[in-house]
Amino acid sequence: MNELAIITKNLTKRFDRFTAVDKMNLQIPKGSIYGLLGPNGAGKSTAIRMLCGVITPTEGKGDVFGLDVYKESEKIKENIGYMSQKFSLYEDLTVMENLNFYANIYSIPKKIKKERIVDIINMAGLEGKEKSMTKTLSGGWKQRLALGCCLMHKPKLLILDEPTAAVDPVSRRIFWQIIYKLTKEGITVLVTTHYMDEAESCDEVAFLFGGKIIGRGAPKEIIRKKNVKNLEDVFISYVEEQTGEKVEASFNKIKFIQSDEAGE
Ligand SMILES: Nc1ncnc2c1ncn2[C@@H]1O[C@H](COP(=O)(O)OP(=O)(O)OP(=O)(O)O)[C@@H](O)[C@H]1O
């Protein structure tokens, strides 16, 4: 795992005078699961959009599988499978019809299309569901179908933007087992999540706060180093270090405690 899939150096995005991502440095090894964590508005989606070639950075460098985010964004897109919590599925089509639709979108050649769809059905555990109407599927099945659709073109990088927000715990576990299997086959996964158990499944995480990376590392290692219980506590500790203020524990809504409240 020493080859790098993504390298950024001081990658920055400003919207007018507002800096959404500030000098972001990343080195993401091929075949790893990398988590970008942070509260709402921290800059996660902006960072991902720059890496996908959807928006142009303001400054800094970005390289995805050796492709430059400024000059080769179209080629980068061909190498990416993107899945968000809002699954882009056609509810009035069956599972098979959705898979066929995506195979056509990605221009999978006719002679390998059938085989490719069978592979996806096996990978995502969708056997027996082929004729089901998508709208009748539970959140977990829809999620696996959406995953299958975004892997149709065999991307090298899978981006999961809060993938399991609408899914029950058992389905989340099955989903993550599939993701592990994919990384064993060499795919690199970049994930944003608010779920700490999910974040602890990453090989490495980076915490974004106010557009800046304020801490990073392998989850077990940083929990041990900070001598705390979980990644939420690690995050709070980083925010307190950064701001010099006491924080009330919440990953999604950072609330600073007034100094008199904090007993200082
Ligand atoms: N096109 C834009 N124009 C102006 N400001 C923007 C634009 N896109 C994002 N921002 C701002 O940049 C900041 C970071 O937004 P971003 O969506 O990247 O955060 P996030 O960490 O993904 O949050 P969430 O978890 O809510 O999706 C926010 O303050 C947002 O309002």
Q: Is the CB of 41 under 6 A from ligand 1?
A: yes
Q: Is the CB of 20 under 6 A from ligand 1?
A: yes
pLDDT at position 253: 64
59, 9 contact by CB (below 8 A): no
Judged by average pLDDT, the poorest of 64-68, 82-86, 94-98, 135-139 is: 82-86
CA–centroid distance, 107 to ligand 1, in Å, is 32
Mean pLDDT of 215-235: 94
Q: pLDDT-based confidence at 1, cuts 50/70/90?
A: very low
pLDDT at position 252: 63
Residue 71 exposed, middle or buried by CB count within 10 Å (0-12, 13-18, 19+): exposed
Residue 82: name the closest of 101, 58, 106, 104 by CA: 106
Per-residue CA distances from 141 to 68, 146, 162, 199, 228 (Å): 36, 9, 16, 22, 35
For ligand 1, atom 10: residue with the closest CA: 20
For the CA of 42, the closest atom of ligand 1 is 21
For ligand 1, atom 31: residue with the closest CA: 41
For the CA of 38, the closest atom of ligand 1 is 21
CA–centroid distance, 4 to ligand 1, in Å, is 27
For the cut 90, the answer to whether the pLDDT of residue 196 exceeds it is no
For the cut 50, the answer to whether the pLDDT of residue 43 exceeds it is yes
Strand ranges inside 136-231, DSSP E = 157-161, 188-192, 204-209, 212-217
CA–centroid distance, 18 to ligand 1, in Å, is 10
158, 189 contact by CB (below 8 A): yes
For the cut 80, the answer to whether the pLDDT of residue 160 exceeds it is yes
pLDDT at position 11: 98
Buried residues in 186-209 as b, exposed as e (16+ CB within 10 A): ebbbbbbbbbbebbebbbbbbbbb
One-letter identity of residue 168: D
Q: Is the CB of 15 under 6 A from ligand 1?
A: yes
Judged by average pLDDT, the poorest of 31-45, 73-87, 245-259 is: 245-259
CA–centroid distance, 16 to ligand 1, in Å, is 13
Q: What percent of the chain has pLDDT over 70?
A: 93
For the cut 50, the answer to whether the pLDDT of residue 222 exceeds it is yes
For the CA of 16, the closest atom of ligand 1 is 4
One-letter identity of residue 129: K
Pocket test for ligand 1, best of 13, 14, 15 (most atoms within 8 A of CB): 15
Query: Which of the pair, 93 or 245, is modelled with greater confidence?
Result: 93
The mean of the pLDDT values for the chain is 90
For ligand 1, atom 6: residue with the closest CA: 15
Backbone angles phi and psi of 123, in degrees to 5: -60, -45
Mind listing the domains of the chain with CATH numbers?
Answer: 1-79+194-264 (3.40.50.300)
Q: Is the CB of 46 under 6 A from ligand 1?
A: yes
Torsional sign, CA 137, 143, 148, 150: positive
For the cut 60, the answer to whether the pLDDT of residue 189 exceeds it is yes
Residues 53-72: tens digit of each pLDDT: 899 999 999 999 999 999 99
Distance, CA of 230 to CA of 210 (rounded, Å):
21
pLDDT at position 249: 62
